[in-house]
Amino acid sequence: MRVERLIGYAQTRHDEGADAWVVQHIRDPESAEHLVESCRPIFGRDPLYVSEVGPVLGAHAGPGMIGIGASVESAFE
């Protein structure tokens, strides 16, 4: 369910003009890959990166956290 909500969010961000995106997770590469596969058709490209969140955020969010960020590509430079 949580990945489906993120897919909807990705579509909204794309509709608002976002053309680049990233995926981050905490010890959940399977969900991250599912999110990538589902959002690739929305953005028409691969994410700029897929990464595991570091221990500081991980200590607060815990294993299983997954997120997506989307903006204009220049914001990621």
Q: How far apart are the first and last CA of the chain?
A: 31
- Sequential pLDDT tens for the chain (77 residues): 679 999 999 999 999 999 999 999 999 999 999 999 999 999 999 999 999 998 888 888 888 899 999 999 998 88
Please indicate, yes or no, whether the overall pTM of this predicted structure exceeds 0.95: no
pLDDT of residue 58: 81
From 67, 68, 7, select the one nearest 41 (Cα to Cα).
7
From 35, 44, 43, select the one nearest 66 (Cα to Cα).
35
